[in-house]
Structure 1
């Protein structure tokens, strides 16, 4: 159910991308505000209403809205970074992405530490209300977002040109015709001034509505056409196809492994929170290493090394599941901590090229929308990978009470890490992590 809800969330975000193109001159701050409100309201409702916390359906709806808000904010921020790279800081594409992920990792560390403390010392209603503080800070930060919409400038220039053109046409009308028309207007106005004003007001309103609907329809038509034209280009659909395949060909067994760590290894929730903190630190380290040492390496080589490393990192989980680490005197906690940190760090070597390459491939004019659509496709692939992992667990009869075939499942997942390597020809040969 969780995977299905997440799949619907990332599908809806593609519609949000199209709505962004319907208003080409609008800024992205309103989208951030809407996303923050969606993240804030569910926590507030769950903190104040105890009956909703006991209802499965109400809880699912509220948490879905909260996840939708978080995902929407994530996509909008990445789209704004893509636009900034295109217009202002093209030579610092990797640096901007690194700063963004450093900030996210720092926030993840603080959130994990706060969550671990809250679970151990606070009531559930207080925890939900405490979670409201973070979206409030995010809502306040929206006031400091400074963005200059190039499209708004273009629309203003177009309106000025249109007005001047209308004035020119009005000046070209002969004076005699204008005087005759003015005389006729005065005569008609004297006959029924009130009716004339009401009719003119109604006609103006109807014309406004018709023009607004036609404008939206025309914008939607152009948006779909631009996106289809962009995706027909091999330099765009080939890399995106690879990143999508890299998700759907590798089954995600993280949920099953979580149950194994809690049910078999008897690891406490507080320790798993600590492991998450270590994982965020590994993500920060991976971002630093990529930006410092791998920035000018070809993406094909980086992605190939990342998948090979992920396959070998699965050996750590194989050792833990087979309990071989106990024979060497290595505790389960150390294995889980190091495995989490290394896996998150190596995964960053795989995700940073996606972000930078996506920003480079976006054509001018639709950078933000196309990049947001790339992110939606990437996360949709991740969700489908979770479905594949659930299917593999079902075939192998792995569940929260039976882990006999978990070792076989991890081995299959390790071998699947080599499948995307065979399709690396879809990535541009000379593409690197730098736009220069």
Structure 2
């Protein structure tokens, strides 16, 4: 699973338990009045933003088939192209610093949301409008890079809003403050997951009935609608904490550098990124194995991804209700072990063990492959809550952007490692005899980070917002 599928993730629904936004809506150190849930549109802004980002899986499934069937690329080329398209995600710290320090019309979140949505709309509509004669790997790659540039800017702004809002005190109790942060993370996780459920469900059906370019056009038009809705909202109505608008990029970079030198933050992010980077991704190989070798229908792949997104919804609900009090190190380590177990299960699948037991290939792909794909991202929810609590006030956008950038870079690295591993074991578009060995190596690499899991702190005290200069 690429970052663009995602990877961006959170939970609670519009019909779910209220998030007490009348408490979250207080102005920070700048003072001000309390804003009720009905008056503050922040919930709607976050819901729309994360829901549409979750829907990004819809055009990206079309990209997979477009590259495989339209441009006839091999598994390694497919994986290299998809991972390289995520390079703009690595620039998130820069976008975070700029959005923290540079205000546009007195706003520093909504304008960046609008810019990011606009870039995505332009890129997908442009791909949809390309004539067959002008389509090439080069120009498709350029537009995919532009799309992910816009997506990364949107994610930075959304994550900063969540971090800022979740850090506002809901009571005199620090435990209540931590709980509020977790609830808001869960709320947006649900929005993204619901978007992913709908996007994958529609993609599984649309791939058989429409051309990939039609799928690109549909999503581009949806982004255009989101753009006009976003620019109709003024940031003052979100009642975000007041911050000095004259901080400057240089000072913001200096503050980010200081934050990253804090051992509990530096060690945590380093371990978390390494826990992804060290695992060779075999997404392109498995996609070809399932579609080219097993002839799994695209609708089954779509349902598989829907199953995974539903699992994400359940995970965020369970986390919000039961697991917020579990030490993050223990929870993240348990997820890492579960990932390795599922990879070993994939070895049995490729060897035909489940088929001999009477389990159809399509059933395994729908349930287990779909679940393994999202297991990679289960640990982002508890870790993002942890980092939001560790993050000093006023640096939310920069630090959360740095975290997402580190994850994006790690996913690019593990994608390239996956290509190297596939070459090493001799897997090609027509020969999958070395796939079981590759999966065993992948599972072993997944367990390696557990030896340094002590880098993740267990006892976290939320930071308070600094006073304005």
Q: Same fold (TM over 0.5)?
A: yes
Shift of 1:260: 0.9
Note the alpha carbon deviations across 1:141-167, whole angstroms, 9 max, x for none. 413464335446x45xxxxxxxxxxxx
Note the alpha carbon deviations across 1:384-405, whole angstroms, 9 max, x for none. 1111111211221222122111
What does 1:163-242 correspond to in 2, within 5 Å?
219-242=248-271
189, 200, 222: which is aligned to 1:101? 189
Q: Stretches of 4+ moved more than 6 A in 1?
A: none
Give the distance between the partners of 2:132 and 2:293, measured in 1 at CA. Answer: 33
Please tell me the root mean square deviation across aligned C-alpha atoms, in Å.
2.5
| Corresponding residue for residue 12 of structure 1 | 91
Query: Is 1:136 equivalent to 2:224 in the alignment?
Result: yes
Q: 1:245 to 1:56 in 2, by over 3 A?
A: closer
Query: Is 1:147 equivalent to 2:238 in the alignment?
Result: yes
What does 1:196-345 correspond to in 2, within 5 Å?
219-344=248-373
Shift of 1:225: 1.4
Note the alpha carbon deviations across 1:111-139, whole angstroms, 9 max, x for none. 12222332222344433321223212322
Query: Is 1:34 equivalent to 2:63 in the alignment?
Result: no
Report if aligned partners of 1:286, 1:345 keep a CA contact under 8 Å in 2. no
Q: 1:327 to 1:96 in 2, by over 3 A?
A: same
Give the distance between the partners of 2:207 and 2:374, measured in 1 at CA. Answer: 27
Greater CA drift, 266-275 or 31-40: 266-275
Note the alpha carbon deviations across 1:236-283, whole angstroms, 9 max, x for none. 101111101101111111211111111221101221111111111111
Shift of 1:412: 0.9
184, 187, 209: which is aligned to 1:121? 209
TM score, norm. by length of structure 2:
0.74
Note the alpha carbon deviations across 1:294-340, whole angstroms, 9 max, x for none. 11111111112111111111232111100111211111111112213
Give the distance between the partners of 2:436 and 2:285, measured in 1 at CA. Answer: 11
Report if aligned partners of 2:193, 2:313 keep a CA contact under 8 Å in 1. yes
Query: Is 1:47 equivalent to 2:138 in the alignment?
Result: no
Shift of 1:43: 2.2
| Corresponding residue for residue 205 of structure 1 | none
Shift of 1:30: 0.6
Give the distance between the partners of 1:48 and 1:392, measured in 2 at CA. Answer: 37
Give the distance between the partners of 1:416 and 1:21, measured in 2 at CA. Answer: 37
| Corresponding residue for residue 352 of structure 1 | 381
Larger Rg: 1
Gaps of 5+ in 2: 1-79, 171-176, 465-469
Q: 1:326 to 1:340 in 2, by over 3 A?
A: closer
Give the distance between the partners of 2:263 and 2:315, measured in 1 at CA. Answer: 30
Would you say how many aligned residue pairs link Structure 1 and Structure 2?
373
Gaps of 5+ in 1: 156-214
Report if aligned partners of 1:18, 1:369 keep a CA contact under 8 Å in 2. yes
Report if aligned partners of 1:316, 1:335 keep a CA contact under 8 Å in 2. no
1:132 is paired with a residue whose SS is helix
Report if aligned partners of 1:52, 1:58 keep a CA contact under 8 Å in 2. no
Report if aligned partners of 1:298, 1:431 keep a CA contact under 8 Å in 2. no
1:27 is paired with a residue whose SS is coil
Q: 1:101 to 1:323 in 2, by over 3 A?
A: same
Report if aligned partners of 1:250, 1:413 keep a CA contact under 8 Å in 2. yes
Note the alpha carbon deviations across 1:194-241, whole angstroms, 9 max, x for none. xxxxxxxxxxxxxxxxxxxxx8xx823212211111111112101111
